[in-house]
Amino acid sequence: MIAVDTNLLVYAHREDAEFHHRSLAALVELAESGIRWAIPWPCLHEFLAITTHPRIFRPPSSMVTALQALHAWLGSPMCEMIGEEPGYFEVLERLAINGRIAGPAVHDARVAAICIHHGVQTLWTADRDFSRFQTLKTHNPVAVR
């Protein structure tokens, strides 16, 4: 299974984002591939917070528009939401200790622990901070090759 991080969702949604076209193309290809993929719940919440924030985007997306984007992705037959379940905390604890996690990095550790706990093979992200979690493979589909 592939999981998609917040930044790719934001880029795909916001036409004014630098990597909009590449992110949108990557998500469309993933959604149409027939491969099982997921959005971690914290990424959904973060997507809503970022895209509707008036200090980040001018103008920000309306909540209705941001929710419509999520509905479109979640309507993909192979997309599922993944989150914390029994056993998740032990994964988070291991990542936090081994990665010497503190402060804002706790959010990334949460997303990584959810992915690992659900058997995600690859997290699609443009955030290099996830490289600290060596048990989670990452892929940046918008990187210029």
Domain spans in the chain, listed from the N-terminal domain onward:
2-139
Question: pLDDT tens digits for 72-113?
Answer: 999 999 999 999 999 999 999 999 999 999 999 999 999 999
Domain 2-139 part of CATH 3.10.20.30: no
Q: Is the CB of residue 21 less than 8 Å from the CB of residue 94?
A: no
Predicted TM-score (pTM) above 0.75: yes
Question: pLDDT tens digits for 18-64?
Answer: 999 999 999 999 999 999 999 999 999 999 999 999 999 999 999 99
Closest CA to 71 of 23, 31, 124: 31
71: left (phi over 0), alpha (psi -120 to 50) or beta: alpha
